[in-house]
Amino acid sequence: MKKNKVFGYTMIALSIVSLIILILGRSSFSRNIEIVLTLMFSSFFSIGLVTVKHNALMINDKDYSVEVEDERNKLIKEKTGNIANLINIALLGAITVVFIAYDYIIPAIITGVFIFLQPVMMIFISNYLEKKI
């Protein structure tokens, strides 16, 4: 739990740093750098805030912690993730076919690589988690 607490506050600190850099360097940065810094701020802040709030609820709210630790809910989350992964692979396949039809070779190669990497990543991640648990 302490590790998650440090992670949450680190993400919030990084979001504040990116916001300060954005504000102070606004006139000297290109538009693309401003977009990246804005995305970094919003991503880091939201991840940090959710992590801190989740940790606080796990400690203070017993109903919330029971719901998070419930085996049925974990099974539903796993099943949802698997179905979403299958849909993502199907969509990437359709997008790859469209890219090939329009002779967009580089995007077709990139999405094709993602199609083949997704199941491989799932195998490696599941093996890692099986060893960890």
The answer on 116 and 76 residing in a single domain is yes
pTM: 0.61
How high is the mean pLDDT of the chain?
Answer: 89
The 10s digit of each residue's pLDDT in 80-132 is 988 988 899 999 999 999 999 999 999 999 998 988 898 888 888 888 888 88
Is the pLDDT assigned to residue 11 strictly greater than 90? Answer: yes
11, 51 contact by CB (below 8 A): yes
Q: What is the pLDDT of residue 1?
A: 57
The tokens for 91 are 């969509």
Which element (helix H / strand E) includes 21? Answer: helix 2-24
Question: What is the count of structural domains for the chain?
Answer: 2
Domain that holds residue 122: 70-133
The answer on 18 and 52 residing in a single domain is yes
Name the domain boundary from 32, 50, 69: 69
